[in-house]
Chain A
Amino acid sequence: MRFCIDLHNHSCLSPCGSDVMLPSILAMEASDKGIDILALTDHNCARNLGPFAEACEIIGITGVFGIEVNTVEEIHVLALFETLSQALEFGKWVESILPKIKNSPRLFGKQYVCDVAGNYIEEVDIFLYGQANVSFDNLIELIIGQGGLAIPAHIDRPSNSVTANLGFLPRLPYSAVESIIVPPIVETYDYTVIQGSDAHYMEHIGRRRCYIEAQTGNFAGLKEAFLKNDISFMN
């Protein structure tokens, strides 16, 4: 069966994410756009995944629990997990290795944790866009070792991408690589290529969703489709 996926999205927790990007709104809008499997991937933090899980459950779409980690090389990597508890655990670890820099909401934006109803319940003090003290190679290994999906983000972007920051794509066991433009304008060898919306604002939701061919519309289905490299794109 064919399922629509979008595995790169931010909420009001990411400093650069719109304050009205509530996890529940993301899930609702994504569902309206026909997305079957949706991930929330805030920068270096898992604290909005709880309400996101609740919202996905209520709406009836498959939630994937992610974090967009910023490595020591300032490369963005999507770490995606099947269960909320795995992702929360991983998120705690990522926060523990962030530089202890206080966020400046004026310069970078606010970092809101909210509940499923959309009430802000906490503002995160530590700057979430900082670089986690883990190397790109080690991070990929760690995510895969924990049964997650490791996906270098926007590999064709001139900043914060593996291609821009290292100059090449090291041969590592990625689950897939995410490209803004398909077919990619950078070398991707035989890795599975996906697109993701990298939504920071409401109007971004679903802008780069793509499709997998799999037996089930869940995490196992994602793994299956990535292994088979069975992906298709919007146009």
Chain B
Amino acid sequence: MISIEQLFSHLGYKKFSEGDLQKTITTGYTSDLLSDVMGNADEGSVLITIQAHKNTIAVASLVGMPAIILCNGRTPTEDMIGAAKEEGIAILATSESQFTASYKVAKLLALV
């Protein structure tokens, strides 16, 4: 289990939304199909995806995901950032792939 703050500091990815710093991350879920995220992701996961738009925030909020990592150089749209701030969800962005980001998160969570 790690805090949102640890996620920011250890990964060094670009921050677009602070999220709720009180929340903790227990695991991760990597997917680019939002319906798959909705159906299978666990509460408390960080979502690792390339879906850099507002609907991703709605899905993350529904599932109870405190943070999203956008990969492959994708940057969030303005309305995505707005929705993330409203819902208290952190957004980080990186040029790294979902594979690399997932590995780093898993390592940070001592899952690998």
Contact = CB atoms under 8 A, between A and B. Distances in A.
A148 interface: no
Given A74-B33, A159-B51, A130 B38 contact: yes
Contacts of B51: 159
Interface in A93-146: 99, 101, 104, 107-108, 129-131
B35 A99 contact: yes
Contact of B35 (A108, A131, A159): A131
Interface residues of A, number: 11
Interface string B26-58: 000000011100110000000000010101001
B62 A74 contact: no
How many chain B residues sit at the interface, stated as a range, is 10 to 19
Contacts of B35: 74, 99, 130-131
Nearest to B60: A107
B85 to A, nearest CB: 15
A130 B53 CA distance: 16
A104 B61 CA distance: 10
State the majority secondary structure of interface residues on A: loop
A104 B62 CA distance: 8
Contacts of A101: 38-39
Residue from B35, B38, B51 with most neighbouring chain A CB atoms (10 Å): B35
Contacts of B34: 74
B62 A159 contact: no
A104 B100 CA distance: 33
B60 to A, nearest CB: 10
Interface string A45-80: 000000000000000000000000000011000000
B39 A107 contact: no
B38 A107 contact: no
Contact of A107 (B33, B53, B58): B58
A108 B87 CA distance: 13
A99 B51 CA distance: 20
Interface string B50-86: 0101010010011000000000000000000000000
Contacts of A108: 58
A221 B38 CA distance: 41
A206 B62 CA distance: 33
Contacts of B53: 159
A222 B73 CA distance: 41
B35 to A, nearest CB: 4
A234 B58 CA distance: 35
Interface of A: 73-74, 99, 101, 104, 107-108, 129-131, 159
Query: Can you list the 10 inter-chain pairs with the closest CB atoms, starting with the nearest?
Result: A131-B35, A107-B58, A107-B61, A108-B58, A74-B33, A159-B53, A104-B62, A130-B35, A107-B62, A101-B38
Interface of B: 33-35, 38-39, 51, 53, 55, 58, 61-62
23 contacts: A73-B33, A74-B33, A74-B34, A74-B35, A99-B35, A99-B38, A99-B39, A101-B38, A101-B39, A104-B58, A104-B62, A107-B58, A107-B61, A107-B62, A108-B58, A129-B55, A130-B35, A130-B38, A131-B33, A131-B35, A159-B51, A159-B53, A159-B55
